[in-house]
Amino acid sequence: MIKFEKFILENGLRVLVHEDKSTPMAVLNVLYDVGAKDENPEKTGFAHLFEHLMFGGSKNIPSYDEPLQLAGGENNAFTTNDLTNYYCQLPAENIETAFWLESDRMLSLAFSKKSLEVQRKVVCEEFKEHYINKPYGDVWHKMRNLAYTTHPYKWMTIGAILKHVEEATLEDVKEFFFKHYTPCNAILVVAGNIDIDNIKTLAEKWFGPIPSGIKYNRSLPAEPPQTAPRYLEVKSGVPLDALYKCWHIYPRMDKRYYACDLISDILSGGGSSRLFQSLVKEQQLFSNLDCYHFGSTDAGLMTIEGKVVKGIDIKEAEKALVEEIKKLQVEGISQAELEKVKNKAESAMAFEDMSVMNRASSIAMYELLGDANLINTELSNYQMVTAEEIKEQSRIIFDENNCSTMYYLSDN
């Protein structure tokens, strides 16, 4: 049971506090309810570029990193299609330094021209390092574009094209900041060796005076149901043929999400999983196979990807994969297999909750989803899934008309 207390400042900032006296450290985690899905389709990659700019100095403090490091702290941040999360960890006695730094950059950035110029270049190098200069690096650019016709999940957080990042202006930066980086669009979690009363005082002191801002009301275009299979074939200088298949699943807060999550474990969650055993070990059609999804807030994609063994026709490999899925749809699963994936979920959660940093960011993310207490109740949502639901959902999701398939073929 992970305990926390929640209160809301007058300006709308939600604050959650989790005490853990066993650690000498404290964590301050700020989550902003903005991600790549909130970007203008002509200016993609902006939420992530903006995350970089948050380290370029704020209104009253020229550098974010230095004072934090001087206080013995460390920090980082990440951007997804749904959200942007900043976290720092430092010796608990110095927690006020984190309040000072985080509140000033919520108040206002410095909007430095030099920072924008440099970070545009840094993000372009990040783009190249992860998505261009690697075999199969552009898979998800293509796959999102194929699977989503309408919803902004169709582009990646790094941006659809380099040019969008290169052309970002200081005006864009300011507009984005005042629209999204406001107390009413943020969640603050403080965790570790801290004292709840003291945190209340510090939160009032540092974040209380920041103007509330206007609540950003999201209205994203909904993805229409897919009604026919989609295909894409790519040829490039990669060494092996690779197969990617995606199916639309449910939003994160939909009850049916849990069955889908367990299905991905049944298919590929370890050495005893179905796809690995049948297609990698027995039939030896693939050298690796993974089934996963990103747990996105809006309806995400169940994905199966694998590299085909050299000399095997990708169509033959795909056929065998489809057969395995059919088996699940027709025969369902045994109680023991269901028990196995539930045990795995329990174990994974226990390990995840070990570090105070993870607990802080989980609390923030669950609060964003609508209920921070999910950190305690999530496991029971998995426990309730039945074998019948697994079978039913595998029939619904793995429908040919709900599927996008990509062949990423080697041209040598």
Residues of span 256-275 touching another protein by CB under 8 A: 269-272
Smallest gap from residue 236 Cβ to another protein (A): 10
Q: Binding residue for another protein (CB under 8 A) from 117, 233, 254, 400?
A: 117
Which residues have CB under 8 Å from 157's CB, separation 6+? 35, 36, 45, 47, 48, 79, 80, 81
Smallest gap from residue 211 Cβ to another protein (A): 14
Stretch that binds another protein, among 33-41, 180-188, 249-257, 304-312 (CB under 8 A): 304-312
Residue numbers 128-167 binding another protein by CB under 8 A: 128-129, 132-136
Smallest gap from residue 403 Cβ to another protein (A): 25
Nearer to another protein, 37 or 340 (CB): 340
The site for another protein, by CB under 8 A, has a size of 80
Residue numbers 318-337 binding another protein by CB under 8 A: 336
Q: Binding residue for another protein (CB under 8 A) from 3, 351, 370, 380?
A: 351
Stretch that binds another protein, among 147-155, 220-228, 276-284, 381-389 (CB under 8 A): 276-284
Q: Binding residue for another protein (CB under 8 A) from 8, 40, 41, 72?
A: 72
Q: Tell me if 96 contacts another protein by CB under 8 A.
A: yes
Nearer to another protein, 191 or 403 (CB): 191
Smallest gap from residue 156 Cβ to another protein (A): 15
Residue numbers 215-254 binding another protein by CB under 8 A: 237-240
Q: What is the 3 state secondary structure string of the chain?
A: CCCCEEEECCCCCEEEEEECCCCCEEEEEEEECCCHHHCCCCCCCHHHHHHHHCCCCECCCCCCHHHHHHCCCEEEEEECCCCEEEEEEEEHHHHHHHHHHHHHHHHCECCCHHHHHHHHHHHHHHHHHHHHCCCCCCHHHHHHHHHCCCCHHHCCCCCCCHHHHHCCCHHHHHHHHHHHCCHHHEEEEEEECCCHHHHHHHHHHHCCCCCCCCCCCCCCCCCCCCCCCEEEEEEECCCCCEEEEEEECCCCCCCCHHHHHHHHHHHHCCCCCHHHHHHHHHCCCEEEEEEECCCCCCCCEEEEEEEECCCCCHHHHHHHHHHHHHHHHHHCCCHHHHHHHHHHHHHHHHHHCCCHHHHHHHHHHHHHHCCCCHHHHHHHHHHCCCHHHHHHHHHHHCCHHHEEEEEEEECC
Q: Binding residue for another protein (CB under 8 A) from 287, 329, 376, 381?
A: 287
Residue numbers 3-62 binding another protein by CB under 8 A: 20, 22-25, 59-61
Smallest gap from residue 300 Cβ to another protein (A): 24
Which residues have CB under 8 Å from 303's CB, separation 6+? 143, 244, 245, 246, 290, 291, 292, 293
Q: Binding residue for another protein (CB under 8 A) from 201, 277, 329, 381?
A: 277
Q: Binding residue for another protein (CB under 8 A) from 84, 97, 182, 402?
A: 97
Cβ neighbours of 245 (radius 10 Å): 23
Q: Binding residue for another protein (CB under 8 A) from 43, 111, 112, 126?
A: 126
> Do 186 and 14 form a contact (C-beta atoms < 8 A)?
yes
What is the DSSP pairing of strand 301-308 with strand 286-292?
antiparallel
Site track for another protein across 166-205, x = CB under 8 A: ---------------------------------------x
Nearer to another protein, 224 or 311 (CB): 311
Nearer to another protein, 86 or 148 (CB): 86
Nearer to another protein, 207 or 366 (CB): 207
Stretch that binds another protein, among 28-36, 70-78, 296-304, 371-379 (CB under 8 A): 70-78
Nearer to another protein, 128 or 315 (CB): 128
Q: Tell me if 346 contacts another protein by CB under 8 A.
A: yes
